């Protein structure tokens, strides 16, 4: 073997060993270098390997999953009444573009044959994952006549979540990470109202803890409605401007919030503006974020007339806040295991007003369908694939009917409660609600 070839071979082996081992990551981390910002192994090893596997298996994947087409007829007429159906000859594989690398995967565009739709590609996404040995394959069609295949080789949500941090703006909170390793910022100014669903121990409370942890130090009024006796949201009571622990108290609080919304409407009308955000900064009222844990408790009844009337009133007040509150600085974050029409006639109307959707693992397909079906039907299948071991993982809707997988920061409830206690001095009073809060805390009957 020539000496030069031996030197190059040894260099390649050493380079391969360095890039595929993790012994150098702690050394760089000790120097303050974030190794995830410099994905050397992915660029030099992972991307070429995945791209070659895609190119090598593309024709077979297309043939097996019915993505190839034939322009020759698939049947012949023999005689007068006999038709012979055959297998298409020389099927043509769709033209795949050059896989373009991204920070956490790669993307490739595929040109559709005339008459094809993206549906077969969407159905073949799971087969592509196995053929290319990657974690996730996403199929979309941003341009007519093309499909965009996004490949994520490894699960970015499997790593330790990002630490809680400030998001941009008063109502924007960094609550976790999305599947492309970008921060998941829940921005109530951009999407005013949110619906969070999922089974027990799926991550709903963790998401609420991350949200409270981020909002506690902001100029925001937090209102809690927890009809399970306050066992969940009661931990954050020092930072809550009001806390309702049963449906009767919830009606009082919601009714006061509707009155507050009307006052803000008059304020905006007097200033000739369309929302509180158009007012001068010094005149803008404090934003209000209403957190509801287990919304079903507001709608379930025992069949008595009083219960039915209270559930009807709760539904009306929540719907009114959802319809009017966005422009007036009142935002809803409603959480529950199941939010469907079986809870009451007004639940469907309320759900349509909640533009943000977060679907954690559910026990049945109907729950995922009720959360995501009217926004993005494709996301329903992904939500159903979340396993019991993926606590905190959810499917989150974005603008334009798009969706993404995300995982909330594992903020313990005690940490969020400690943050609420530290910032209790920032709790703003709300007109018409502060008196009722004191009455509730004293255990008396509100007048």
201 annotated as ligand-binding:
yes
198 is in an annotated binding site: yes
Residues with Cβ < 8 Å from 269, sequence gap 6 or more? none
Q: How far is the C-alpha of 104 from the C-alpha of 181, rounded, in Å?
A: 7
Q: Where in 235-360 does DSSP place strands (E)?
A: 240-244, 288-293, 330-336, 356-359
Rounded Cα distance, 235 and 338, in Å:
23
- Tell me the C-alpha distance between 151 and 155, whole Å: 11
323 is in an annotated binding site: no
Residue 442 is assigned to a ligand binding site: no
204 is in an annotated binding site: yes
Q: Rounded CA gap, 209 and 206, in Å?
A: 5
Angle between helices 377-384 and 365-372 (to 10 degrees): 150
- Residues 210 and 415: their CA atoms lie apart, in Å, by 9
Find out whether 339 and 371 touch, Cβ atoms under 8 Å. yes
| Residue 199 annotated as binding site | yes
Name residue 173's beta-bridge partners.
Answer: 166, 186
Whether 391 has a binding-site annotation, put simply, is no
97 is in an annotated binding site: no
Q: Which uninterrupted H or E stretch holds 255? A: helix 247-271
Annotated binding-site residues read 198-205
Annotated binding-site residues for ATP read 198-205
């Amino acid at each position: 073997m020539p000496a030069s070839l031996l030197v190059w071979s040894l260099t390649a082996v050493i380079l391969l060993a360095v890039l595929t081992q993790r012994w150098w990551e702690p050394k760089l981390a000790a120097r303050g270098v974030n190794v995830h910002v410099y994905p050397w192994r992915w660029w030099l090893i992972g991307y070429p390997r995945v791209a070659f596997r895609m190119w090598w298996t593309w024709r077979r994947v297309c043939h097996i999953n019915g993505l190839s087409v034939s322009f020759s007829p698939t049947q012949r007429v023999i005689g007068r009444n006999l038709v012979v159906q055959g297998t298409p000859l020389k099927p043509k594989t769709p033209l795949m573009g050059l896989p373009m690398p991204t920070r956490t995967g790669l993307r490739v565009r595929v040109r559709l044959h005339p008459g094809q739709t993206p549906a077969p590609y969407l159905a073949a996404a799971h087969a592509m994952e196995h053929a290319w040995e990657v974690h996730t394959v996403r199929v979309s069609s941003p341009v007519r006549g093309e499909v965009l295949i996004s490949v994520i080789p490894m699960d970015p949500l499997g790593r330790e979540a990002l630490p809680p941090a400030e998001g941009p703006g008063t109502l924007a909170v960094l609550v976790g990470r999305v599947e492309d390793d970008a921060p998941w910022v829940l921005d109530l100014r951009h999407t005013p109202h949110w619906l969070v669903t999922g089974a027990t121990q799926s991550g709903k409370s963790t998401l609420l803890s991350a949200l409270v942890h981020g909002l506690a130090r902001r100029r925001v009024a937090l209102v809690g409605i927890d009809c399970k006796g306050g066992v969940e949201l009661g931990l954050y009571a020092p930072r809550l401007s009001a806390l309702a622990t049963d449906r009767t108290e919830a009606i009082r609080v919601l009714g006061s919030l509707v009155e507050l919304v009307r006052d803000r409407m008059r304020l905006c009308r007097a200033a000739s503006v369309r929302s509180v955000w158009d007012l001068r900064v010094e005149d803008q009222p404090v934003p209000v974020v209403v957190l509801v844990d287990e919304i079903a408790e507001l709608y379930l009844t025992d069949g008595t007339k009083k219960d039915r009337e209270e559930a009807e009133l709760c539904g009306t007040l929540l719907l009114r806040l959802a319809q009017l509150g966005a422009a007036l600085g009142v935002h809803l974050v409603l959480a529950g295991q199941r939010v469907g029409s079986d809870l009451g006639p007004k639940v469907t109307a309320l759900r349509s007003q909640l533009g943000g959707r977060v679907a954690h693992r559910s026990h049945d397909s109907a729950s995922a369908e009720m959360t995501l079906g009217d926004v993005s039907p494709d996301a329903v299948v992904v939500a159903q694939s979340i396993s019991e071991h993926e606590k905190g993982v959810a499917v989150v809707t974005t603008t334009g009917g798009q969706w993404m997988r995300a995982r909330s920061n594992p903020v313990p409830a005690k940490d969020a409660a400690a943050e609420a206690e530290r910032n209790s001095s920032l709790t703003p009073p709300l007109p018409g609600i502060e008196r009722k809060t004191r009455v509730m805390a004293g255990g008396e009957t509100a007048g």
